[in-house]
Amino acid sequence: MDQPPVFTLDVLTDRQLLSDVLKGVLTTLFFHRLFNSLRPRTRDLLDLTLPTFDDAELEASIDARLATLARYLSVESAAAGERARLQVQFFEKRPRRAGWFGKAEEKVCWEEWRIEVEVVGWRSEAERATVRERIEEQLHRTVLKIITTASNEKSHVPPITTNDANPFPYAIALAPKGETWGTRMGIF
Amino acid sequence: FNLELDEMETFRDELGPWRLGDSFDPRPSTLIIETYLDTNDLTPTQALVITDGNEKRWNVTETLEHALNRAGLNVGARRGERNAAAARAGQHIVLERWRIELSAPFDLAQTPELPVVYKKSIILFRALYSYLGMMPTWKFRRRLSKVKLHTSSLKIGCRILSGDDFVRSVRKWDGLNIPLFPGDERVAEDFSFGKVESPAGSFTITTSYRKNCDFRVDDSEALLSSHFINLDEHYFRPSSHQRTSSQPSNLAVARGIEQVTGSNLPRRPDYLHGLSSFPQTIGASPLSQLRATEMGRTGSGGSPIDRPPSSLRSVQGSRTSLRGGTDIRPVSRRGSMSFQPFKSPSLSASPATDQVSHGSVGRASTPGVPIHRPRPSVGAISPSSYKSAQSTVTPSEGTATHTAQTPIPISASPASQPMTRIASSFGSRRPRISSAASVTRADDDNSSGQASYTSSMAAPGSALYTAAGTSSYEDGVQIRDFMTMLADGQKNSLKSFGGGDEPNKLASNPLSKFQKMKDSQSALAESMSSSLLLQPSSSPSTSSRNLSSVPGMVHSTAFSQSSSPGNPLSPQTPHTPAVPSRLSAGLTAQYGQQESQRQNRVRSPPASNTRQHDRIVEGGAATTSPLDIPTSPRFIPRRAHSMSQQPHAAEEASQHEHEDDTLAFGPVRPPSMDTADEEQPRYVFRFPRGNGLSSSGSSYRAGRVSGRGRGDTPLQGSTSSLDKGPSSSIGSSARPAVVGRRTPSWSRAGGGPEDDDLLFAMSDMMIAQNSRRSLDQDKAAGGDSPTSSGRRRSRGNGVGDSGRGAW
């Protein structure tokens, strides 16, 4: 198949905001790519209002990944500038014609998002304020990028064949930069 | 589209053509949704301002008017007059403009299938939903909803326009792209969502929105005052420098402030009234308060205390008016403020008292005082309280309360505005005071009381400065300069109190007025001071701090003093009639003296503290020789009281006496002012009442002091006693032995002697030490205990300065 489009998002955060920021970003991303009917809500984060919705499975997946990421980051030296990468893939189920596998369909990734996470710290209170500002700005830019990208690049979205549930399985993977791929598939 | 949203009934009718028609026939026109800012609810005194990237505020209302005029749309009464629609449109600032269009289908053969259309629409609406949360208008709306302050004034509305109408109307007036401040080139930003192809055409949603939605509602006066403040800042700086020559102690600062305020006092008798009538909107910007009181703010007046320089300036500029007004306000504020500090043990006895008294006074009078202190009780305090406050405006060190006190008498007049002004002036002074506070302390001699005032006058925060006793001579110098300036200006208005003291520039009239006010308020003040006095017991330093908290008070008192006691007092006269005129007389004289003292102080920083006291005293009692404004920190706060007291006459003195040392100082001051006797200030405070102020401030003081504790009448008696004591002390610059001062003759009606002692001790200390701090410490040590209510008292108890040591 063709290479699915890969979109990169840069996320800047600090230790405290790590899970909140990432969760916000991921939720926003899924908000744009999760095609089941959902009731939107908003959630404020760092002076931004992000859309959110309730999806138990998604939340569970996200939480699991973030926990792993946090563990990973804490294991590593807590120096400023830690990086990690999250990878979100959207699949579509394509019926497989092949015989002997027995599987009727296969999952084909039609879109991939890479979230580069950078964790920064600060050394003084003054620095903290500037760091926070940077985080906010970056979050704003990232969310904006999600919105524009998702709304503009929609021609490659596969047709929705089912009306119930999520037609597109997704996978959230944690990929420590340059390290082993601790891929955990959250295939649902 | 897989997005569950609530159905909305709004605009149902307007949206009819788009909802009901099919997409082909008739072709729906562009749907335009505008979000606008509705400013119809702004009161005439409010202005819509926008903050640009440089933190500068621009008046949007004016800009809009101009633009409307230029566009020829300003049809008279903009609010719905003839051309109501245009008028209303003119009122509106468009924040967002959404265009939803369906372009004509270009090729039916290539139209996507419906599921695809739906799929893409899902994405589109999800994006739309997300994007809305990122828009500046949304953030603005969120901010409005959080801040309940002006929710009623600003509304965000929405209206539907059809594309055809829009094209016509936008030519005349485009509410979206109007730049609202210079430098606003690209007012709006555009964003468009991905289009969705459909068999009916290409469906697009685009938006233009204002990038800057940082709107706020401000009081028009606030804007003005802010301008003034800026001016003032520059203006005051030099003067303050001069003032800070001397003592670094807060006292000095306080003195300075007191001086300033004192000078103001005579100015604004009318303000006094205003003050009392002020609602307790201490928190409100001074401007609003001023407005509320409809006082003719001369200057910034309204400027929040935060801007001490400006406030000072404004005060200066319109000294009379400002002072009066601001005095009142600050005083009131102070009063309220002082109350708070008083409650806290930290307040030194003297300052506390002052503050307390001020607080009461301040409270009443400073509805509009921009003093930052939290004046919860301000509103509560009635003019009478002012009076008392004023009477109690013992020149306690820098207690802001002093100032507060002074205003009281002044506050009699509806000079709420003046108070504000004054307050603002003090506010501006604050910075000075902080540094100057310490310095002013040095100035003790000049304005022991003033220093306290200044300190007190300074916004609560500033008072802290004084308290901190930042030994910034510069500040002191500045304050001194300022005082000088004031003094100069005041000379004309202020009547010398007889003591021939230069400080006695205070106009006798103001003094009389003030005294009258004091009288009226003395009763109230007494009660108030009693509560206030509790605090004074705290160390002088604390008092200074307290002062800070009650900058308004200090200012007010100071101002009140300066303002013609007569006038201000008159309104309040009814309040404290009980006290014999002596106090009032003394008070007024004191104020005058104080003022003069302050002025003196300004002029001669090195002058003994008593000088300052004297000045203050002078202001209060023309007759009494100016009492030295006690340099000791204690006095500063007192001074404030004394200042205020003067107008109130004995009553206040008595009231304040007990309540706060300041009272003691206040009345005492005037006499001392003349004598430039350090000790005198103490006495001055005491008996400012004795109008007659038996020439000697001392008598005045005695009267006051004692009177305060007991009530007006006793003052008289005490006055005499005071004469003995205070006069001696007052007259004699050296009153080191507080006890001596105290002279039981003072016999403050109740804790008179003690208080006197305290007072004297304090004054002595202040004067002698010229460092409030030390005094404070002393006081704190010794004085804390004594009487929270009456600093003086505590002083008296502990007094014996020598003995006090700890104070």
Integer Cα distance of B350 and A92 in angstroms: 82
CB of A155 closer than 8 Å to CB of A5:
no
Distance from CA of B162 to the nearest CA of A (A): 26
Decide if B630 contacts B758 (C-beta within 8 A). no
Torsion sign (Cα): B155, B160, B164, B165: negative
Residue A40 and residue B134: Cβ atoms within 8 Å?
no
Whether A143 sits inside 8 A of B134 (CB atoms) is: yes
Confidence of residue A179 (pLDDT cuts 50, 70, 90): very low
Q: Assess whether pLDDT exceeds 70 at residue A35.
A: yes
As a whole-number percent, the residues of chain B with pLDDT over 70 amount to 22
Q: Which of A35, A36, A49 sits opposite B133 (nearest CB)?
A: A49
The residue ranking higher by pLDDT, A67 or B475, is A67
Test A150 with B124 for CB contact under 8 angstroms.
no
Residue A108 at interface with chain B, using a CB cutoff of 8 Å: no
Rg (CA), chain A: 17
Q: What is the share, in percent, of chain B residues with pLDDT greater than 90?
A: 0
**CA–CA distances in Å: residue B177 to residues B65, B158, B182, B209, B493:** 15, 17, 13, 9, 54
- The length of chain B in residues reads 807
Average pLDDT over residues B759-782: 52
Nearest to B795 by CA among B533, B434, B450, B414: B533
3-state SS, one letter per residue, for B87-124: HHHHHCEEEEEEEEEECCCCCHHHCCCHHHHHHHHHHH
Model confidence at A90: pLDDT above 70 = yes
* Spatial distance between the Cα atoms of B305 and A148, rounded to a whole number of angstroms: 48
Q: Please tell me the distance from the alpha carbon of residue B635 to that of residue B687, in angstroms, as a whole number.
A: 14
| Confidence band, pLDDT 50/70/90 cuts, at residue B350 | very low
Q: Tokens representing B80?
A: 């719905």
Q: Quick check: A30 pLDDT over 70?
A: yes
* The one-letter amino acid at B399: T
- Range from B205-209, B440-444, B622-626, B758-762 that averages highest in pLDDT: B205-209
Instruction: Specify the pLDDT at position B561.
Output: 42
The predicted model gives B302-326 an average pLDDT of: 40
Residue B633 CB partners (closer than 8 Å, separation 6+): B249, B250, B251, B254, B348, B350, B351, B396, B397, B398, B441, B444, B448, B451, B452, B469, B540, B541, B543, B544, B762, B765, B766, B769, B771, B772, B773, B774, B775, B776, B779
The 10s digit of each residue's pLDDT in B203-231 is 888 888 888 888 777 777 665 666 565 55
Q: Please, are residues B187 and B179 in contact by the beta-carbon 8 Å criterion?
A: yes
Contacts of A35 in chain B (CB under 8 A): 2, 119, 122
Q: A160 in contact with B at a CB cutoff of 8 Å?
A: yes
In degrees and rounded to multiples of 5, residue A51 shows phi and psi of: -75, 150
Q: Is pLDDT at B608 greater than 50 in this prediction?
A: no
What is the CATH classification number for the domain harbouring B202?
3.30.900.10
Shortest Cα distance, chain B CAs vs residue A2, angstroms: 20
B677 domain residue, yes or no? no
Residue A47 falls in which region: left (phi positive, over 0), alpha (psi -120 to 50) or beta: left
**Residue B217 resides in a domain:** yes
Listed in sequence order, the residues at least 6 apart from B402 whose beta carbon sits closer than 8 Å to its beta carbon are: B254, B258, B261, B334, B354, B355, B357, B358, B393, B394, B395, B396, B449, B450, B452, B453, B456, B457, B547, B553, B554, B557, B558, B636, B637, B638, B639, B640, B641, B642, B643, B644, B662, B665, B666
- Write out pLDDT tens, residues B54-71: 777 777 777 777 777 776
Measure in Å the smallest separation between the Cα of A159 and chain B Cα atoms. 7
Closest residue on chain B to A27 (Cα): B130
Domain coverage including residue B86: 28-235
B504 assigned to some structural domain: no
d(CA B362, CA B419): 9
Instruction: Mark yes or no for CB contact B123/A32 under 8 Å.
Output: yes
* Choice between A103 and B121, residue whose per-residue pLDDT is larger: B121
> How does pLDDT run across B546-576, given as a tens digit for each residue?
444 444 444 444 444 444 444 444 444 444 4
Examine residue B436 and state whether it is found in any structural domain, yes or no: no
Banded model confidence at residue B26, pLDDT cuts 50, 70, 90: low
The listed range with the strongest mean pLDDT (B70-79, B240-249, B384-393, B445-454) is: B70-79
B536 compared with A153, residue with greater pLDDT: A153
Testing the interface with B: which of A43, A92, A147, A160 to mutate, by most B Cβ within 10 A? A147
Distance set, CA B215 to CA B131, B143, B156, B306, B406 (Å): 21, 10, 11, 22, 39
Residue with tokens 């997409």: B23
Give B77-122 pLDDT, tens digit per residue. Answer: 444 444 445 455 555 778 888 888 888 776 666 767 788 888 888 8
pLDDT category at B529 given cuts 50, 70, 90 is: low
The total number of structural domains in chain B stands at 1
Asked if the structure places residue B117 within a domain, the reply is yes
Most confident of B52-56, B535-539, B648-652: B52-56
Check whether B268 has a pLDDT greater than 50. no
Element containing residue A111 per DSSP (H, E): strand A105-120
B377 within a domain of the structure (yes/no): no
- Mean pLDDT, chain B, integer: 53
Kindly tell me if the per-residue pLDDT of B22 is higher than 50. Answer: yes
- Cα–Cα separations (whole angstroms), residue B125 to A70, B4, B198: 33, 11, 15
- Dihedrals phi, psi of A115, to nearest 5 degrees: -110, 110
3-state class (DSSP) for residue B443: coil
DSSP label at B301? G
Structural domain includes residue B695: no
- Answer whether B729's CB lies under 8 Å from B744's CB: no
Cis peptide bond N-terminal to B431, omega within 30: no
Mean pLDDT highest for which of B173-182, B509-518, B756-765? Answer: B173-182
Q: In Å, what is the CA distance from B739 to each residue of A64, B762, B768, B789?
A: 78, 10, 14, 20
A116 pLDDT above the threshold of 80: yes
In a domain, B305, yes or no: no
Interface with A, mutate which of B6, B118, B123, B211 (most A CBs under 10 A): B123
Evaluate whether B284 touches B438 at the Cβ level (below 8 Å): no
pLDDT tens by residue, A45-89: 877 888 888 888 888 888 888 888 888 777 655 554 577 888 888
Chain A residue closest in CA terms to B116: A159
Average pLDDT for residues B633-656, to the nearest whole number? 44
- A48 contacts in B (CB within 8 Å)? 133-134
Residues of B at the A interface, defined by Cβ within 8 angstroms: 2-5, 115-116, 118-120, 122-124, 126-127, 129-131, 133-134, 138-139, 142, 193-194
Q: What are phi and psi of B58, to 5 degrees?
A: -125, 140
Q: Which pLDDT belongs to residue B226?
A: 61
* Spatial CB neighbours of B512, under 8 Å, sequence gap ≥ 6: B564, B565, B566, B567, B569, B585, B588, B622, B647
- Give, as one character, the DSSP assignment of residue B565: B
**How high is the ipTM of this complex?**
0.86
What is the pLDDT at residue B63? 74
Sign of the torsion angle spanned by Cα atoms A47, A49, A53, A59: negative
Determine the average pLDDT of the residues in B192-210.
Answer: 84
Task: Tally the C-alpha atoms within 13 A of residue B696's C-alpha that lie toward its C-beta.
Answer: 24
Contact (CB<8Å) A154/B3: no
**How many Cβ atoms from other residues are within 10 Å of residue A182's Cβ?**
15
In order of their start, the domains of chain A are 6-175 (3.30.900)
Q: Residue B676 corresponds to which tokens in the numbers above?
A: 């430039």
pLDDT of residue A104: 65
User: Which position has the token pair 């449109």?
Assistant: B89
User: Average pLDDT for residues B593-608, to the nearest whole number?
Assistant: 46
- The CA distance from B569 to B514, in Å, is 4
Segment B404-460, tens digit of pLDDT: 444 444 434 444 444 444 444 444 444 444 444 444 444 444 444 444 444 444 444
Q: Do B119 and A160 touch (CB under 8 A)?
A: yes
Which span out of A55-64, B251-260, B703-712, B797-806 was modeled with the highest average pLDDT?
A: A55-64
Contacts of A140 in chain B (CB under 8 A): 134
Q: Which two tokens stand for residue B139?
A: 């953030």
SS3 labels along B685-731: HHCCCCCCCCCCHHHHHHHHHHHHHHCHHHHHHHHHHHHHHHHHHHH
Separation CA B664–CA B525 (nearest Å) = 12
Q: What is the pTM of this model?
A: 0.44
